[in-house]
Structure 1
């Protein structure tokens, strides 16, 4: 039997186990940098397989399947952290047992898929012309985990890296992986305005930061609409504004927080510069002061063309040509970008949306769930990609 067929049959055989693993992870969610039980669970599984690994600090696992023949090294990444979201699917037998915590993005599926892919690959390790590194990554949701694993040697000696994200906006089993931008860079900003407070009945003696902040919020959108090329996708969102302390006191301080998303590095630089310029200019008009804190989060995920074409080839051969789906780039952020800063690779989406199973809810929603039939697709795609890359 061909190796590809052996991998396919193994993943099918482990379908029930794959579901059990995912459900256990789903019922025991841990948020970023708190994935201690999840790390232990992965390590215990790898121990059973006889796969060598090391724990990363403070959570996470880097494992390696040593091939029986010399060759390259390919890394497969699955993230593990949950979100501070209340599970609304209370009737599920595997619903979260942690109040205010939930796997609302599919990372439980990613971890389970990578565990079972490791099991299948480990069974053919003597045939592997190279090595498969397994990255069980913490803290993706705070955009810190990938960077931390890179610092701890995750991609040292790695020739290529591949990741998967379950995607509820795509039909179950479909696979999307296109060259170029996939996920946007995701930055945070915080603008603090300082004015002069006072009695609400005596505005002439004050500098009202409620007015300053409101003017900024209303005008800052023109950074995107009037200062960048309309063909360069970008979004600037103000998500939080805290102004004032009491109904009859003119606000002395105002704090605004938001996010910037785009795909192009030059556009990113421009928006950061313009946002500061707008804040300082609006403050100057009213005689206030402005302080801008701009924090760069994830880079844009830019899929390497050669790796992406290999994903498409692997998916077509494993599941048929009609499995390929062309999902548009998303303004969502993904810290997988930090691996791509170091080595070539690609990031694929595997559909899990099924209206009959009520699994089309948006990621990060309290009713988010996945069609578990997609688990087999994801696990096999991990394994088949590793085999294909090492045999290139």
Structure 2
């Protein structure tokens, strides 16, 4: 199933792979600001002879057509960094941008896919079909994938594959389970309005802080009492802004939170119930409530055949012992919008190593990766594409 030439090519490029990742790490760019990274990727692919185009305002789509006819497989890497201050000192490739860093591993994803592209060019004559490379902006704000789809990223694609470096797992371990992998991730904003006044005269007021507090205390019963307990769901209130002064009864209160789940019907139900709870709570105390529900990412649901292919490729390339099962996470991933367009799967590649201090959680200021994982990720990209295309070749 795997091609030994790809393994050798990527091994030969291991030093370059580390260099690319470190350069990208030292020059992080936030969502929709990845102009320098876009230019770097575009120039790199162009020098390889890969036909490519830029998406607006950032992002790159490259396409490599094999010598034989066949299907089209897309490989995706995200490129954006986070508004996080890097806390690791004396790191040679530490972020040069204050308050910005690659705290989630997207620098690694971009580097791995560039080297995978370079290796696939070397075996172009043995490819049956087309490999499309998607270098996506703005994953961290969950809008980049959807915008790339609008700009034709998935037109004609038969299958799509992506991955994420995973610091919670040992270096080189690979998980790609069929079914749910990442949850849908939505945002809700609720504004309670009462009638303000003097803190010494509550009888003349409608206290928005009481409405908001009551809502926060009761909203968890949506999950605990209206949803099948076999269906995972999370409702989190992350922020509450209320009041202006110690002796003024609050006229307004604003609550912000997030909803995570895997099932579309559960998602719909929670959205409706949030409005019911908010408006009924407000009415109980004599006020009003306005609810805004913003749908973010879809749930990432790995298609069974694709996930099994990724497992088989990883096992053959690195040995059966690399496979493990990462339980579905309530984290969000906008790779889901690519899966809306074509079947595919999303893998996790372990990069955690306490001896190298790379076990920190994603989005932490000390986040880093064990660079031994880079070659495994690059090879998994390349071998998945080769295996999928040659498995589905046409004459």
- Settle same-fold status: TM greater than 0.5: yes
Please identify runs of 4+ aligned residues in structure 1 that moved more than 6 A. Answer: none
Cα shift at 1:247: 1.2
Aligned mates of 1:90, 1:144 — CA distance in 2:
32
Residue of structure 1 equivalent to 2:201: 202
Is residue 2:152 matched to residue 1:153? Answer: yes
Cα shift at 1:127: 1.4
Aligned length: 391
Is residue 2:23 matched to residue 1:24? Answer: yes
Aligned mates of 1:240, 1:86 — CA distance in 2:
22
Cα shift at 1:47: 2.1
Aligned pairs (5 A) from 1:209-248? 209-248=208-247
Contact in 1 for aligned 2:2/2:317 (Cα 8 Å): no
DSSP 3-state at the match of 1:82: coil
Aligned mates of 1:224, 1:319 — CA distance in 2:
41
* CA displacement 1:36-73 (0-9 Å, x = unmatched): 00001111111221111000000000000111111111
Residue of structure 2 equivalent to 1:177: 176
Residue of structure 2 equivalent to 1:128: 127
Aligned pairs (5 A) from 1:73-88? 73-88=72-87
Aligned pairs (5 A) from 1:24-173? 24-173=23-172
Cα shift at 1:274: 0.7
Contact in 1 for aligned 2:2/2:387 (Cα 8 Å): no
Aligned mates of 2:196, 2:85 — CA distance in 1:
39
Cα shift at 1:347: 0.3
TM-score, length basis structure 1:
0.99
Residue of structure 2 equivalent to 1:336: 335
Aligned mates of 2:62, 2:104 — CA distance in 1:
24
Aligned mates of 1:359, 1:281 — CA distance in 2:
48
* CA displacement 1:125-166 (0-9 Å, x = unmatched): 121100100000000001100000101111111110000100
* CA displacement 1:185-207 (0-9 Å, x = unmatched): 00000000000001111111111
DSSP 3-state at the match of 1:385: helix
Q: 1:212 to 1:3 in 2, by over 3 A?
A: closer
Cα shift at 1:90: 2.5
Cα shift at 1:3: 6.9
DSSP 3-state at the match of 2:224: helix
- Aligned-residue Cα RMSD (Å) equals 0.8
Aligned mates of 1:25, 1:247 — CA distance in 2:
48
Residue of structure 1 equivalent to 2:369: 370
Residue of structure 2 equivalent to 1:381: 380
Aligned mates of 1:3, 1:184 — CA distance in 2:
31
